[in-house]
Structure 1
Amino acid sequence: MPEIDPYDRLKEADRKSNEYPFSLLSKPDDGQITRRELKQYYVALNDPQQEKILFNGSHQQVVILDQWPGERGIFIESNDSRVPLNLSLAMLTYILTYHQIHPSFLDAVFAFGCRADDHGPGVSNFQPLLLNDGKTTTSISGRIPALGRSGKEIQHSLLLRSVERSHQGADATLRSWSMGKVAIHHFFDVETGRSVWIIVKDNDMFRQRFKTDTQLFPSTTHDSAGRPWSVAAAFEMSLERYLELLKWCDEDWRHYIVDLRKMVSDQISDAKTAQSKLRRHFGEPQAAVASGNHHTNGSTTARLRWNVKSELTSLEASSDLGSTHVDRFHELFERIDRDTLTMDLSVGTLNALVDYYDHLAQPGNVTGPLEGKIKEMVAKFSFRACQTIRNMESEQKQLEFELNRASEAKVQFVKRLDSHSTYRSQRLETYNYDSTREMQRIAINTEGKTKSVHFITVITLISLPATFFAVSAFTSSHAHLFGFSGIVYWDDSESNGGLKIRKGPRNLFVLLCYVVTMVIMVAWLVASWRRRIVARFRAARGRAQNRPYSPIEMV
C-alpha cells in the first residue's frame, strides 16, 4: 500500500481542524505528545465557558504578514486586555492545524480573554519542542517539501509579562500603568530557513514593530547587509527579531520604577504626617485636668468627662485615619510583590530561552546548513539577551529596595498606631470608670431618697390612726356640721356615758389603713429581696466571664 503524501495528510487534517489537537500529523507513539495530553488540551479548548471568555466570533481579524521569503508573522490581537481575542475558535484551530503548532502553545493563549485576574502575574513559561535524542530537531508535521518544511525545525512557545503605560501622555502615576502580556510561538526550519511567528497580544504593538523596524526586513534576494540570502542569514535574522521582541520585557520597567518610587515616597510622607497627628493626643488628658481645677467639684467632674469624651472622639477619628494608611501600605506591598513575581518569572523564562539556544549550539545538535555557524550566532544572541536579563535583575533589586523602604516605614507607623491604640484604650477605660462612678453616685443618691420616701410613707401610714382619732374627736363634737361622726365619740345620753367606738367606721379604717400599710411593706421587702438576688447573680456571671463586677449593674 503506497504511503500517503504528507501534503495530502495535511490537507485532510485541515478539513478536520475542529478536532485540534487531534488534527496534528504526529502520532502519540512518535514521542512528541501523548494521547492523554491531546485529550486534555482538546477538552480545555472546547470548554463552552473557555470559548466565551477567550474568543470574539463576531469580530474576526487575524493579520498575516509575509515580510520576506520564508518569514510569516501571524498576529492575533484584542481591543483591550480584558476582552476576548478578535477571532473564533474555528479560526484558531485552523491556524494551529495548518502550521502544525504544538498544543503546549495553548497554555500561553489561555492567559488572554475576558478574565478577572488580568492584573495577576499568571504563568510566564517557556515550552520548547523536545529534541530527538538531543542530536537534531524534530517535527510534528513531518517532511512536506511543497510547503518548505524539511521535518527538522526549531519550535517553541513562551508567555511573557511586563508593565505597559496604558494611557500615552498620562500623568506620571501608577494608575497609568497596567500589566501587559504577550504569547509567542516561533517556528524555524533549519534546512529551508522558513520561519513562522504567531504572536498573541492585547494590542497591535508587536505588529507595528514588525512593520516599522526596517533594519529587520531585508529585500527579497539579499539580507540587510547586502549578502545573498541563506539559511544562516535567515536564522541570524530570526535571532535579531527575537532580541527586538525581548526588549519589550525590559524597556518600560525603569520608567515604571520612577513612578513607583514617587508613590512610595508620597505614602511615607503621608504616614509621617499622620504620625505627628497621632502624637499630639498624648498631652491632652493633663490639659483637660488642669482646665477643670478652677471649678467646683461637680462642675470639675462634668468638665473632665466632657473633655475625655471629646478626646475619645478625636482619637477614634485618628484611628480611622491610621487604618486608612495601613490599608494603603498593604495595597502598595501587594503591587510590588506582584511586580517582583512577574519580573522573576519573566527572567526565568528568558534564562530558559537562552539555555535552549545554547543547547542547540552544541556540536552535533543541529545539522544541515547551520552546522558550524550556529554557535557564533547563538553566542551573540545569548550575550545580548543576557544584557536584557541583567537589566531586569537590576530593576528587580530596585523593586525589592522600594519594598523594604515601604516596609520599614510601615513598621514605624504601625508601632505608633499600636501605641495610639493602647493609649486610646486606657482613655476609654478611664472614661468608663468615671462614668461608672458617676452612675454609682447617682444610684446611691436615688436609693437614699427612695428609702426616705418609703420611710416617710410608712410613718405616715402608721400615724394615720392617731390622725383618724384626732379627726374623730373633732368630728364627734361637730358632726352636725359635716354630716358624719368619727370612730370614737363621747356618749352623754346615759348616766354611765363615756367614750364609745362605732364598729362601721372602725372596720373601714382597718381595711383602708392597716391593709394598705401591710401591702406596701410587703412589696418593699419583696423588691429589696429581689434586688439582692439579681446583684448576686450578676456578680457571679461577671466572675465567670473574667471581668470585674460593676456595682452599677445593681441599679
Structure 2
Amino acid sequence: MDCFTRSFLCAKKYPLELVSPRQSDYLLKENFERLNKEEERLFDQDGKLNVGLLELERGCPSLGFLQVENDTQLQQRLRRSDSQEQCDPLYRAVFFQARSSRDPLSVTRDMFTSVLSHHQVMPVYLDHLFPFGDQENAKDAHFSSFRAENSLSNFLAQQQIPELGRSGLQIQMCYNLRSVEFKKTAHGSPWSIRQAAVYHSFDVKFGRAVWIIIKANSLLRKRIQETASGNRGFKFTNLDTVESAFQASMMQHQVIHEWCTEGWRRYLEHLEEITQEATSDATVAEMEAPTSDREVLLSKFQRSLTFSSLQRQDTGRLSRLAHRSTGFGLRSSRPVLPSTDQAVPLLSLHESKDFESNFNTKFSLKDLQRVQHLVEKVNEVIFVLGMNKHILEKISKYYQSLIKKKDLPDKLKQDCEDAVTEFAEHSDNAISDLAMLESRATALHQLLKERKELLLCVVEHTNMTLNLFLGKEAQKTAIESHKTAIEMKYMAQQMSDVSFRTEQETIFMRIITVVTLLFLPSTFISSLMSTDIVQWPSDSGKPRRVFVPQALGTFFAISAPITFITFPLSYVSHCIEQRRLQQRRQNNQSGQ
C-alpha cells in the first residue's frame, strides 16, 4: 500500500513511479519526456474539462454516471473520500473526450496521469494517447497496436492492495481501433474516420474491471450504457461473481468491436458513387484520332489569305484555349515565317468553333486531382480495415489462449469457456465482415487506378489534340502575318514610287516658277504697253510717245477694287478650312 500511495502522490511523474512496470527505465524515461513535450498539444489547460465516469458498486442494480469537471472532484472520487466504501468499484469506465477529433483532450495532464497512476495502467498505453490532441493533419494515423500483460501467478502479483480490493492477479490489455462515422456538415465530406484508444484490466480473483477509453465524442459511452441497461443473454450489471464479470468484460469488447465494423459499407457506397460521378464520363468520352497531314491535304482546299481583323479574333481564341489547358495565355506577337508555295491545311471557322466547344467538355487536371484524392481515401480505408482486422484477431486469440492458462482459476475457466468460444465466434464474424469490406475496398481501389489511367489518357489525348489545333491555328496566323508583311512591303514600294514622282514633279514646278518669275515683269510691261495708256503714234514718220492719264485711271479704278476684294475672300476661305480641320480632329479624339 505504501508503494501505491507514493506512486499515486507522484502521478505527475507517470510512468516513472509505477509500482511494477514491465518496461525498462530507458523506455519509461522516453515516454515521460515525450509526454512533457506533447503536453500542450494533448491536454486542454484553459477550456471546459470533462471526464466521464461509469461505475457499478457491489449491490447496485445499475451503472452510475458521473461527469467530473475539475481535479479536486476527480481526486475525491478516486480516493473514495466521498464514500464509505474504500475499495474500488466492481466496474469503472473512464472516458476522456475532446471538443473534436482534432482538438486537445478536455482534461488536464494532472487529471489524466492521476487516473493512470491510480489504476497502475501499463506505460505502453501512452502510445495510444499520442495520436490524439491538437493537430491540423492526422498525426501518427498509421499507428495500430495490441498489447497485453498478465499477472496470474503469486510471484508476479506485486500489486496486491487489499485495502482497494485488488488481488494483484489481473490481466491488462490496450489497443486502438478506428471506425467511420457520419455527421452532416456544411462543407466537405460528411464521413470521417475516428479512432478510439482502449485500456482494460480485469482482476481474476475479485472480478473488478477497469476500462479507460479515449475518444473525442461520447458515442462509445452511450453504447455501453445502452448495453448495460438492456438484456443480451444476461444482464450486463449482474457482476456478483467473477465469472459474470469476466463475461461482461467480453461483452463490452463486443460493443467496441461492433463500433469498429459499422459504417464502412455505407462509406464505401459513398466512395463508389463519387467514383462513378467523377470518372464515368471518361469511359464514354468520344475520342477522335488526330488527322494526318496527308488526310488533311486530301480533304481540305487551299485557302486564300487576306489581311483582315480576323487575326485578332483567332489569336484571342487561341489564348483562351491555351489558358484553359495550361493556365497561361498566348503572347499577342505574331511570328513571321518565310513564304512558301505549299498549300497549308487550315481549320475552317466553323471547325475552330466546334473544336473549342468540344474542348470545353473535356477533362482537366482538376479531375485528375479529384480522382487521386479518392485513391488516397480508398487506400486509407483498406489500411484501417486491415488494422482493425488484425487487432480483432489478436484479441480473439488472446482470450482463447488465456482460458487455457494453468494459472487462471479453474472455476473461471470452466464457467467462461463457452463464453470465450462465443466471443471468438463473434470476433470471427466481425473479422469476416472486415475482410469482405477490405476486398470491396481493394476492388474499388483497382477500379480507381484503371479509371485514373483512362482519365490520364483522355487528358493527354485532349492536350495532344489541342496542340495540333493550336499548331494549325498558329500556322494560319503566321501565314496571314507573312501575307500582311508582303502586302505592306508592296504598299511601301508603291509609296516610294509616289514619293519619287512627287519629287520629280516638284523639281519641274520649281523650274516653271523660276521661268515664270523671270518673264513676269517683261510680260506685265509688254501687256501694259499694248494698251491705250501709252501710245506710239508715227504721223510724221517719227515715232513719239503719248501718255493718256484717263486710261491709266480707268485701269486702276477697275483692278484695285478687285485686288482688295480677292485678298479678304482668300483669308476667309482659309479660316473656314482651318476650323473644319480642327473640328474633325476633335471628333476623332472623342471617338477614340
TM surpasses 0.5: yes
Is 1:96 the counterpart of 2:116 in the alignment?
A: yes
Q: Distance in 2 between matches of 1:227 and 1:341?
A: 38
Alignment-derived partner of residue 62 in structure 1: 51
Unpaired stretches in structure 2, ≥5 consecutive residues: 59-89, 315-346, 525-592
Alignment-derived partner of residue 318 in structure 1: 361
Is 1:15 the counterpart of 2:35 in the alignment?
A: no
Equivalence map 1:126-275=2 (5 Å): 126-129=146-149, 131=150, 142-167=159-184, 175-214=189-228, 224=235, 229-272=240-283, 275=285
Alignment-derived partner of residue 532 in structure 2: none
Offset, 1:112 = 2.1
| Residues 346-389 of structure 1: CA deviation (Å, up to 9, x unaligned) | 11222222233333234435456545666554333222211101
Offset, 1:249 = 1.0
Offset, 1:415 = 2.5
Q: Which amino acid aligns with 1:192?
A: F
Q: Secondary structure at the match of 2:189?
A: helix
Q: Which amino acid aligns with 2:51?
A: V
Offset, 1:105 = 1.2
Aligned match for 1:111, one of 120, 131, 139: 131
Alpha-carbon spacing, 1:193–1:480, altered in 2? closer, same or farther (3 Å): farther
Q: Secondary structure at the match of 1:81?
A: coil
Aligned match for 1:447, one of 489, 498, 516: 489
Alignment-derived partner of residue 379 in structure 2: 337
Offset, 1:322 = 3.5
The 8 Å contact of residues 306 and 483 in structure 2, kept in 1 or not, is answered as no
Alignment-derived partner of residue 327 in structure 1: 369
Question: Which deviates more, 66-75 or 185-194?
Answer: 66-75
The 8 Å contact of residues 250 and 392 in structure 1, kept in 2 or not, is answered as yes
Equivalence map 1:401-480=2 (5 Å): 401-454=443-496, 456-457=498-499, 468-469=510-511, 471-478=513-520
In terms of Rg, which structure is larger?
2
Q: Distance in 2 between matches of 1:139 and 1:166?
A: 47
Alignment-derived partner of residue 86 in structure 1: 106
Q: Give RMSD over aligned pairs.
A: 4.1
Question: Which deviates more, 246-255 or 457-466?
Answer: 457-466
Alpha-carbon spacing, 1:474–1:120, altered in 2? closer, same or farther (3 Å): farther
Q: Distance in 2 between matches of 1:424 and 1:137?
A: 80
Q: Distance in 2 between matches of 1:252 and 1:98?
A: 36
Q: Which amino acid aligns with 2:13?
A: E
Offset, 1:162 = 0.8
- Percent identity of paired positions between Structure 1 and Structure 2: 22
Q: Distance in 1 between matches of 2:428 and 2:488?
A: 87
> What TM-score comes out, normalization by structure 2 length?
0.67
Alpha-carbon spacing, 1:461–1:141, altered in 2? closer, same or farther (3 Å): farther
Q: Distance in 2 between matches of 1:227 and 1:450?
A: 109
Q: Secondary structure at the match of 1:193?
A: coil
Alpha-carbon spacing, 1:294–1:452, altered in 2? closer, same or farther (3 Å): closer
Aligned match for 2:40, one of 38, 51, 54: 51
The 8 Å contact of residues 170 and 204 in structure 2, kept in 1 or not, is answered as yes
Offset, 1:332 = 1.8
Alpha-carbon spacing, 1:318–1:265, altered in 2? closer, same or farther (3 Å): closer
Q: Distance in 1 between matches of 2:360 and 2:155?
A: 69
Q: Which amino acid aligns with 1:318?
A: T
| Residues 146-187 of structure 1: CA deviation (Å, up to 9, x unaligned) | 1222222211111111111224xx99x993322121111001
The 8 Å contact of residues 200 and 210 in structure 2, kept in 1 or not, is answered as yes
Alpha-carbon spacing, 1:481–1:446, altered in 2? closer, same or farther (3 Å): farther
Question: Which deviates more, 67-76 or 467-476?
Answer: 467-476
Alignment-derived partner of residue 566 in structure 2: none
| Residues 275-332 of structure 1: CA deviation (Å, up to 9, x unaligned) | 25x76x989x9xx99999899764999595644654564355334x443432322222
Aligned length: 455
Q: Which amino acid aligns with 2:137?
A: D
Q: Distance in 2 between matches of 1:79 and 1:174?
A: 19
Offset, 1:469 = 4.7
The 8 Å contact of residues 238 and 245 in structure 2, kept in 1 or not, is answered as no
The 8 Å contact of residues 25 and 140 in structure 1, kept in 2 or not, is answered as no
Question: Which deviates more, 466-475 or 141-150?
Answer: 466-475
Q: Distance in 1 between matches of 2:27 and 2:449?
A: 44
Q: Which amino acid aligns with 2:251?
A: E
Alpha-carbon spacing, 1:479–1:248, altered in 2? closer, same or farther (3 Å): farther
Q: Which amino acid aligns with 1:97?
A: S
Q: Distance in 1 between matches of 2:122 and 2:236?
A: 34
Q: Distance in 2 between matches of 1:400 and 1:453?
A: 77
Equivalence map 1:267-306=2 (5 Å): 267-272=278-283, 275-276=285-286, 298=306, 306=349
Aligned match for 2:28, one of 29, 33, 38: 38
Q: Which amino acid aligns with 1:243?
A: Q
Unpaired stretches in structure 1, ≥5 consecutive residues: 1-6, 483-555
The 8 Å contact of residues 24 and 140 in structure 1, kept in 2 or not, is answered as no
Offset, 1:116 = 1.6
Q: Distance in 1 between matches of 2:430 and 2:421?
A: 14
Q: Which amino acid aligns with 2:465?
A: Y
Alpha-carbon spacing, 1:79–1:383, altered in 2? closer, same or farther (3 Å): same
Alignment-derived partner of residue 542 in structure 1: none
Alpha-carbon spacing, 1:154–1:247, altered in 2? closer, same or farther (3 Å): same
Q: Secondary structure at the match of 1:213?
A: helix
Alignment-derived partner of residue 545 in structure 1: none
Alpha-carbon spacing, 1:90–1:226, altered in 2? closer, same or farther (3 Å): closer
Q: Secondary structure at the match of 2:131?
A: coil
Offset, 1:190 = 2.1
Alpha-carbon spacing, 1:458–1:136, altered in 2? closer, same or farther (3 Å): farther
Q: Secondary structure at the match of 1:325?
A: helix
The 8 Å contact of residues 181 and 192 in structure 2, kept in 1 or not, is answered as yes
Q: Distance in 1 between matches of 2:358 and 2:237?
A: 77
> What TM-score comes out, normalization by structure 1 length?
0.71
